[in-house]
C-alpha cells in the first residue's frame, strides 16, 4: 500500500488535475480579482481599494489604489507582502504565457 498515492496501481491512466480541480485557464480578470481579494483582506478600509489593469506595451500592470495609511499594510515590513503578491501573480501569469506586474499607487 502506498502512503501518498492512495493505493493506485501502475496501470491506471493519470489525468491532469489543477489545484481547484478544474482545468480552466487563468485569465487577466482572474488575476485582478485575486489581487483585489488579497488587498481588501489586508487593509483597514477595504471599501476604498481600487484595482485596475492597464496595458503598458507587452506588459500588463495591475495597479492598486487605496488610502495612504493602508499602503504600508499592502507593502509589508521590508516589502515582503508586496513581493509575495507579485511572485504569485507573476507565477500565474507565466502559465498564461504573459507578463503581469503589480504596482501600489501613492
- Enter the pTM of the model: 0.76
Does residue 106 have a pLDDT over 60?
Answer: yes
- Alpha-carbon distance 49 to 14, whole Å? 43
Question: Domain locations in the chain?
Answer: 28-104
60 phi and psi, to 5 degrees? -95, 140
pLDDT tens per residue, range 25-76: 889 999 999 999 999 999 999 999 999 999 878 889 999 999 999 999 999 9
Residue 17 has what pLDDT? 47
CA–CA–CA angle 86, 16, 87 (5° rounding): 5
> 8: which residues sit within 8 A by CB, 6+ positions away?
2
pLDDT tens per residue, range 68-100: 999 999 999 999 999 999 999 999 999 888 999
Residue 14 has what pLDDT? 47
Q: What does pLDDT average to over the chain?
A: 85
Residue 22 has what pLDDT? 59
Class of domain 28-104: alpha beta
Amino acid at each position: 500500500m502506498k502512503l501518498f498515492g492512495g493505493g493506485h496501481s501502475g496501470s491506471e491512466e493519470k489525468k491532469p488535475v489543477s489545484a481547484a480541480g478544474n482545468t480552466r485557464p487563468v485569465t487577466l480578470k482572474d488575476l485582478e480579482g485575486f489581487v483585489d481579494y488579497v488587498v481588501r483582506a489586508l487593509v483597514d478600509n477595504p471599501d476604498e481599494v481600487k484595482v485596475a489593469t492597464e496595458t503598458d506595451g507587452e506588459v500588463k500592470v495591475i495597479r492598486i489604489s487605496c488610502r495612504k495609511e493602508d499602503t504600508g499594510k499592502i507593502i509589508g515590513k521590508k516589502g515582503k507582502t508586496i513581493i509575495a503578491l507579485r511572485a504569485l501573480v507573476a507565477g500565474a501569469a507565466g502559465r498564461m504565457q504573459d507578463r503581469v506586474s503589480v504596482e501600489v499607487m501613492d
